[in-house]
Structure 1
Amino acid sequence: MKTDDLPRIQARGVTKIFAGVPALDNVDLTLHAGEVVGLLGENGAGKSTLIKVLAGVYIPEHAEITVRGDVVRFAQPIDALARGIATVHQHSSLANNLTVAQNLILGREPGLSWLPFWIRQKAILAKARAITERFGIDLPLTTLVDDLSVAQKQRVEIVRAAAEADTLIILDEPTAALNPHEVDELFELIATLKATGIPVLYVSHRLDEIPRICDRVEVLRDGKNVGGLNKEDSVPAKIIPLLVGRQLGNLFPDLPTVTEQVVFRAENVAGKLLRGVSMEIHAGEIVGLTGAIGAGQRDFARIVFGADPGTGRVELLGKVLPHGRPDLAVKAGVGYVSGDRKKDGLFPILPVWRNATVVKSEDLSTAGFILPARERKVGIELIKQFDVRTSSANKEIGDLSGGNQQKALLARWAAVTPKLLILDEPTLGVDVGARREIYDQIVALANTGMAVILVSADHAELQGMSHRVMVFTDGEVVAEMAGKDATEEAVLHARIRTDNAKAAS
């Protein structure tokens, strides 16, 4: 058989065991040249473990891995990179203080250390330009990475990976922080990689993307292969039963009944990127906020919570909230689940039960002293109530899946029964099964009379979980529509109409 006809990479019988429990159980995976294969599975299904085996991070108990027909064994990541395997992780690993050109060839700089600085920089720029020209991709080579957008940083990482790897590029949740336009640009870049013959292993929780970009999919559940689907069958209706092992039914619960009581009112709220936003939210009402990244929806949420400075009037049940004081916002009854739970939400090395009680700690203290046994009992009750699945309540929350981390954060705020709950991308990086559980909890909280702000870029989520949706552009609300009408097309048209109107004026 010709080398070109062989799989670019093939893994057979991959088995990896942690503490006596198999994370991967006899898993197979094959990729050919120029192929995009979706790797799908709920959190805990084994995707991350398989990626790390292929990248040389984990040494499996058993595996037969071949690259272009040659049997290989990876003892460390540099071994996998030497055989042309590179991973682009969800969070950037670029050096922010270096230029794009310097990042593209980092570790492979021309051996010109004895030459003057300006000559070295010219050589670095020339080598980086050769890489971008090879793939027909334009990048701002002289710009500092710190000055790039999230999408631009990702393009740099992918191009750097493509320059180092011709066997396999692994993209881990590549669209998690991208808006629809940036997703389209990413798919164009992946198509370019396909045309050069580089196979791509595409890991994502966003099932609507899969038929757009993947040639086929492989699904893992409980560390095992449970099915493969070709491009035509790679649709959510056929993927979901494989992911969860059952028909999930309707992903979204029935929305709560909205009352006439106004819980939250904002008048002319403004900030660094925000201009004069006003709205009211009633008891039991879930209002979605959406727009392109940086359009203002997240800024509004953070100003309301007091995390960012702002101006204008913010009221909760008629009481004015001061700006820039999240402590007073919490005392008044505002809860906030950040869109970046690792940065702003979790205490990753603390146990699950303590993460669930940190906001309620003051209520659980006596004479200023927290009673650990009492706090732990309440924490365990909360994680049971919200079905946070963990082998032990004492386990560090950083070791849990994204869905269970998010349920613990919801439990944290439910413990203090806020009047307004702000949810920023509550299901980002959460598998489809855990999504329904989170949606059920959100609706249950709103049914108590709580008002909910839902910041989301997921149009299906906005339609299924919002009574109303407000569309932000350039720091302003430019459209308001019923949640069921907030399709991707409707939201995009609202933004385009505004952009065209501004251009005409």
Structure 2
Amino acid sequence: MSDTSSPGGAAVPPGEPPPRTAPPALELRSITQHFGSFRALRDVDFRVEAGEVVGLLGENGCGKSTLVKVLAGVNTPDAGGELTIDGRPVPLPLSAGQFRDLGLSFVHQDLGLARTLTVTENLMVGEAGAAASRKPINWRSQRRRTRALLQSYNVDVDPDLPINQLPPVGQALVAIVRAAEELKAYRARGDVGHSILFLDEPTVFLPEDQVEFLFELIRTVVAGGASVVFISHDLAAVRAICDRVVVLRDGQVAGEARIGEVDDRQLVEMIVGPVGGKLVGQAQRRAPGDDLGDAPPRCTVQGLRGGRATGISFAVRPTEIVGLAGLLGSGAEDVPYLLFGARKATAGRMTLDDREIVLPVLDPTTAVRQQVAMVPADRRRDGIAPSLSVGENATILVNDEYTQAGRLQGGRLRELVRRQLERFDVRPRNGNALMGTLSGGNAQKVVMAKWLEINPRLLLLHEPTQGVDVAARAEIYRLIREASTGGMATVWVSSDFEELATVCDRVLVVADGEVRAELTGDEVTDEAISSAVYHHTTDAAAVLADEVPTAS
């Protein structure tokens, strides 16, 4: 629970609302948004109190992003809606960039950082640019100021490193610090009210052991005078940091509650409805007695080296889903990319059915020809082409099969896309929509449709449900299990040990670049995986210190 404070500075007991001695920091009333005939929002009321952490929850496509874009000045809502900031009415729609003058700041999933610039340049570029018109920039002084700024938030990263050389954890923390400083500067400009930080899926980039560090950063932001809107599918994180939750479903407010007054099942039922609540926690592993018998391996990996992997060997049988679990830096996260040729292995061989593949010379084109499919963790950067249509993304790997005399058979391709969108329950059912406009869960379903269309012999997954809501997650579990029944072997790498326990037939524990333990059958539980991961990591602190920014 967040350590909120009242406007006068007194601590607010956990589970109790901040005192209503002042108007809400922000309040939206009767917000409706149409895109043509599609209604994305319907009469939505949403408020944020001063010093409060509010969880904004809902399935992918429920309207969360649409609502946030109204406040960012991206979307123009229908007439009739109202916005007040600290009790003062603000006319809608907002113009582009106006949110900064209202004390709002946003950290989106793509973070919005200039990835080729350094940490210092990202944090100081606005101020430095203004100073450049008067005198040369003193970069040594800027780096000192950046280091002091990061230390004030207990974020330990090198100010001289380019953003794209930081691990995802470090990038996320830099983006949050930048947003928090924007809000602090807003409050310092005059006698103004509270400011509000919007965090969109902030735990997506964080391993489990670093989530509490994020919470401390949020508490620091709140203690500095801001409120926080926490947009997430991670119910454990929501329960740990939020004071109150607001749930959207089908563009409407489906529920609102103090976090201490609802249990997880009630939250899930607010998010996806009573039927959806039954999906969560439902085991996706094969039924008891439905074993693999004496089936020979479909895929055998021997002596894989590359990245953090120093000698990983394992086998996967047809229809089997094998999970790889390990701390960040253990080597587990490198395995899918090395086996797909997206990163160069330095040693190792993979046997796929009767074909031996020398991994150091493997490339992605050859991997696809061998019916190896790869779903990467960074969906937007590595998994989709946002500027192409949904249909083009879904069929890009099989276009040759729908070509005759050098011409694409458009009718057959459109029918394929229609079947894919229906089978994978992609919303909206519009193959002509731009891929970049889809919500995270629907985009991931298109990625899955694309790869499963090649009938893979080996499916490689890295964090396949990252940033995906509970209903879409259950659907992805079902689709992968369904596809595996045809003989597909699956390697599933995830930092979510509960997910591995839900879907995997076996789990291999990776530490120091090697497989150190194997869990099977009834051993495959969240608790057993966590215990094995930490037990077999000889120096977890050293691994994390080398890979993840830590509190100073």
TM superposition shift of 1:217: 0.3
Whether the 8 Å CA contact 1:478–1:498 is kept in 2: the answer is: yes
C-alpha spacing 1:128/1:283, structure 2 compared with 1 (3 Å): closer
- Look up the SS of the partner of 1:267 in the other structure: strand
Match of 1:164 in 2: 182
C-alpha spacing 1:503/1:443, structure 2 compared with 1 (3 Å): closer
- Look up the SS of the partner of 2:34 in the other structure: strand
2:38 to 17, 21, 38: 21
Match of 1:237 in 2: 265
Which whole-Å CA distance do the structure 1 matches of 2:247 and 2:197 have between them? 18
Alignment of 1:231-310 (within 5 A): 231-248=259-276, 249-251=278-280, 252-256=282-286, 257-259=290-292, 260-261=294-295, 262-310=297-345
TM superposition shift of 1:373: 2.5
- Look up the SS of the partner of 2:339 in the other structure: helix
Q: Does 1:90 align with 2:131?
A: no
Alignment of 1:424-503 (within 5 A): 424-482=462-520, 485-487=523-525, 489-500=527-538
Where structure 1 has 5 or more consecutive residues not aligned to the other structure, the ranges are none
Alignment of 1:170-185 (within 5 A): 170-185=198-213
Whether the 8 Å CA contact 1:342–1:348 is kept in 2: the answer is: yes
- Select between 165-174 and 317-326 the one with higher mean Cα deviation: 317-326
Whether the 8 Å CA contact 1:10–1:65 is kept in 2: the answer is: yes
Match of 2:232 in 1: 204
Whether the 8 Å CA contact 2:172–2:205 is kept in 1: the answer is: no
TM superposition shift of 1:284: 1.5
Show CA shifts across 1:339-398 (max 9, x none). Answer: 223222223343333333222223333456543333333332333333333343333333
Match of 1:101 in 2: 120
Whether the 8 Å CA contact 1:258–1:283 is kept in 2: the answer is: no
Task: Output the aligned Cα RMSD.
Answer: 2.8
1:192 to 211, 220, 227: 220
TM superposition shift of 1:501: 6.4
Match of 2:142 in 1: 124
TM superposition shift of 1:253: 4.7
Which whole-Å CA distance do the structure 1 matches of 2:233 and 2:486 have between them? 30
Match of 2:356 in 1: 320
Which whole-Å CA distance do the structure 2 matches of 1:173 and 1:263 have between them? 36
Whether the 8 Å CA contact 1:34–1:193 is kept in 2: the answer is: no
TM superposition shift of 1:234: 4.5
Show CA shifts across 1:130-171 (max 9, x none). Answer: 755765666544544343222222222212211222510000
Q: Does 1:407 align with 2:435?
A: no
Whether the 8 Å CA contact 2:26–2:83 is kept in 1: the answer is: yes
Which whole-Å CA distance do the structure 1 matches of 2:151 and 2:388 have between them? 48
Match of 2:82 in 1: 64
Which whole-Å CA distance do the structure 2 matches of 1:88 and 1:82 have between them? 17
C-alpha spacing 1:270/1:333, structure 2 compared with 1 (3 Å): same
Counterpart residue identity of residue 87, structure 2: G
Match of 1:216 in 2: 244
- Select between 251-260 and 306-315 the one with higher mean Cα deviation: 251-260
How many residue pairs get aligned? The number is 503
TM superposition shift of 1:57: 2.2
Counterpart residue identity of residue 396, structure 1: L
TM superposition shift of 1:203: 0.3
- Look up the SS of the partner of 1:298 in the other structure: helix
TM superposition shift of 1:38: 0.3
C-alpha spacing 1:149/1:327, structure 2 compared with 1 (3 Å): closer
- Select between 272-281 and 62-71 the one with higher mean Cα deviation: 62-71
Q: Does 1:150 align with 2:168?
A: yes
Match of 2:4 in 1: none
TM superposition shift of 1:125: 4.6
Match of 2:63 in 1: 46
C-alpha spacing 1:267/1:65, structure 2 compared with 1 (3 Å): same
Which whole-Å CA distance do the structure 1 matches of 2:129 and 2:414 have between them? 57
TM superposition shift of 1:487: 4.8
TM superposition shift of 1:488: 5.0
Whether the 8 Å CA contact 2:153–2:217 is kept in 1: the answer is: no
Whether the 8 Å CA contact 1:211–1:235 is kept in 2: the answer is: no
Percent identity (aligned): 37
- Select between 231-240 and 29-38 the one with higher mean Cα deviation: 231-240
C-alpha spacing 1:375/1:58, structure 2 compared with 1 (3 Å): closer
- Select between 434-443 and 344-353 the one with higher mean Cα deviation: 344-353
- Select between 222-231 and 139-148 the one with higher mean Cα deviation: 139-148
Which whole-Å CA distance do the structure 1 matches of 2:335 and 2:155 have between them? 35
TM-score (norm 1): 0.91
Higher relative contact order (CA 8 A, sep 6+): 2
Which whole-Å CA distance do the structure 1 matches of 2:540 and 2:496 have between them? 26
TM superposition shift of 1:206: 1.3
Counterpart residue identity of residue 236, structure 2: D
